Amino acid sequence: MTAIRTRASLLVRTVVAAGCCLALSSAVVGAALLLVAVPVYAGVRYGVEAFSSPTFVPGTDSSLLVEPVAAALVIAVAITCLVAVELSLRTVRTARERGSPAGALAQGTVELASYVLLLSSLLIALAALPFLRSTLPDPAFALLILLGFFYLVTVSYVWAAHEWLRSRDGVDDERTTGGNWLVLVVFAVGYLSAAVWPGFALLVVAALGWLVFGSILAPDHVDRVRDAVERRAAESAEEEPVDPANVYGFTDEVERIRVRLERTAGPRAAALAAIGALAAAGGSYWAATRIPTETLAVSLAAASALVLVGVYAGGAIRAEFAGDTAVLRDLEDRFDLETLAAGEPAGQVAGGTESGSSAAVDGQRSRTQLESLVTRLAGQADLPTPEIRVPERDTPIALTVGYRPAASTLVLSRGLIETLEERELEAVVAHELAHLKNRDAAVLTALSAPGAVARLSRSRYGYNPVVEPLAAVVRIASCWYVAFVSRGREYAADDGAVAITGDPAGLASALEALDRDLERRPHEDLRERDTAVAFAIVPPPWDEHRFFDRTRRFVTRTIFGTHPSTEKRIDRLRARL
């Protein structure tokens, strides 16, 4: 009866967490669609009105272009700008994955997109004000306006400046000086466009068009401009310029895409692209002569948002099920997560313990020994052997990631390997394999994906005053429902480990040793609290606070705690002896 109640409780927890994850993901996709669609719609409307208005060319009484031609031209320019932003995002992401600095031109374009998103969020807020004003009480509406004004006008720009200065010092960022330098140019052009003449905005549009077509037709010229920007920026900052040979730039990404297209479509790829561009331009003009500008702007905004967000959402889903999970990419971003080379030591085994237990075996565990241990236990559990990854961290981390047992990854930190004796390490590996056998790994990997993607967005693209609050909400919500499910599955994994090894005392001893090791560890070793809490097989020791200690402990251990009390787990295991 108790087992039935436990399974029912786990099922309820999983269903609730899955519902929260689905709702959260849907809300994020909806917000992304709005944030992309609004600036495209506003840009098309503004562009058509500007080109077909007599005031665009000072001193004349006639418009520069008739409305259908203006609409076709603006749509072509908008698509070019969207292609430039998308390729720049790909360039920055690929450079980050390769450990190379991204080119200044790609970085500047990503920064431009960042502040376009800020403008988009302001437009969305202004559009929503009438609805909120009519539904909210006056005090609540006034507080909302105050908070929104404080964040968007003050905090976002102050924090963005702080992040920009940190990036200039090379702190926790891989931006080059030229990319930061171009941010100032974008701000200058934006100010001139708003204060002097709207035609200054064409400078940014022309630069994005040159970036796209120049990378296709004259990549060497684009690279020379990029290198000149980097060199001048480094001179103004009195720094050494980045080595052009180490930079992964916009033209490199365009060339990579061209090569991939030629492999799939053959040499006709360039011709097909040219035909497609001409067809899009002709179709835009034809549509502009028959469809109102408002409808065209809405259609292009919706299509652009669906394509861009769909590409990223589809890519994330495809990567998840291909085994390249967001949780693993997040770990790789934050840790030196490496697969052990053949014969490389897996960790120095610690000496003894202060409680007088038997001393650990001296020497080193090689890859062969570690793989042999994992393979043997996986065979006992009737599971395929997972891939083994070892992050360079002293914090005892042990987790299993993957949707299928055949494509799963077991992560064991060097700190954990060095702390445990052979019998204890065997119990911990069995505990993680039990998670795999119980499908806990698949459930928790899926539930953790939104939070991991939110963390990756900042590490790859830098701080964004609009994306960051949204990502913070996603991370907090993800931590809660992952913890809600995880707490109910730890006891089952402990039981599964005992079923595999037949040694409850070994797992109890491992938990006790890891808990004792964390108590001895200096506080600064646990600065990455989210990692320690989420991935350590035992939670870190609690640091008492002068104020609200009980409340903080309740929030950290009860609401966001991923594991039950270590003492209860040890007592439960020893009761089975």
Do 28 and 88 fall into the same domain? yes
In sequence order, the 6+-apart residues with CB closer than 8 A to the CB of 210 are 222
Residue 159 lies in a domain: no
Residue 447 pLDDT exceeds 70: yes
3-state secondary structure of 346: strand
Both tokens of 193, joined, read 């466009």
Distance CA(44)–CA(50), nearest Å, equals: 10
pLDDT value of position 302: 92
Residue 259: domain span: 23-136+174-322
Average pLDDT over residues 382-400: 83
Cα of 194 vs its chain's centroid, Å: 33
Distance CA(347)–CA(388), nearest Å, equals: 13
Do 180 and 59 fall into the same domain? yes
Higher pLDDT, 153 or 423: 423
Residue 63 lies in a domain: yes
| pLDDT tens column, 507-518 | 888 888 887 776
| pLDDT tens column, 324-334 | 778 777 777 66
Do 281 and 406 fall into the same domain? no
pLDDT over 90 for what percent of the chain? 2
Do 470 and 541 fall into the same domain? yes
Mean pLDDT taken over the chain? 76
Owner of token pair 């089952």? 492
Do 466 and 538 fall into the same domain? yes
Residue 356 pLDDT exceeds 60: no
Catalytic one of 432, 468, 490, 512: 432
| pLDDT tens column, 141-190 | 888 888 777 776 666 666 666 555 555 444 444 455 555 566 677 778 77
In sequence order, the 6+-apart residues with CB closer than 8 A to the CB of 57 are 64
State residue 109 phi and psi, 5-degree precision. -65, -40
In sequence order, the 6+-apart residues with CB closer than 8 A to the CB of 425 are 373, 416, 417, 510
Residue 351 pLDDT exceeds 50: no
Residue 524 lies in a domain: yes
**Max avg pLDDT among 331-335, 474-478, 520-524, 532-536:** 474-478
Is 432 annotated in the active site?
Answer: yes
In sequence order, the 6+-apart residues with CB closer than 8 A to the CB of 458 are 464, 467, 468, 471
Strand partners, 390: 338
Do 115 and 235 fall into the same domain? yes
Residue 142 lies in a domain: no
| pLDDT tens column, 216-243 | 888 888 888 888 877 877 777 667 777 7
Residue 533 lies in a domain: yes
Residue 197 pLDDT exceeds 60: yes
Sign of CA dihedral 212, 213, 215, 221: negative
Residue 2 lies in a domain: no
Average pLDDT over residues 50-79: 71
> How many residues does the structure list for the chain?
577
Average pLDDT over residues 52-64: 59
Distances (CA, A) of 201 to 198, 445, 525: 6, 45, 49
In this prediction the pTM is 0.75
Residue 495 pLDDT exceeds 70: yes
pLDDT value of position 520: 63
Residue 363 pLDDT exceeds 50: no
Do 290 and 417 fall into the same domain? no
Average pLDDT over residues 92-103: 82
Structural domains counted in the chain: 2
Q: What CATH number does residue 371 fall under?
A: 3.30.2010.10
Cα of 383 vs its chain's centroid, Å: 31
Do 342 and 463 fall into the same domain? yes
Higher pLDDT, 297 or 156: 297
Do 339 and 312 fall into the same domain? no
Distance CA(366)–CA(374), nearest Å, equals: 13
Do 304 and 445 fall into the same domain? no
Do 423 and 314 fall into the same domain? no
Residue 15 lies in a domain: no
Higher pLDDT, 163 or 274: 274
Both tokens of 178, joined, read 């030229």
Do 281 and 368 fall into the same domain? no
Look up residue 420 and give its amino acid: L
Parallel, antiparallel, or unpaired: how do β-strands 387-391 and 409-412 relate? parallel
* Strands of 163-269, DSSP E: none
Residue 9 lies in a domain: no
Strand partners, 397: 536
3-state secondary structure of 60: coil
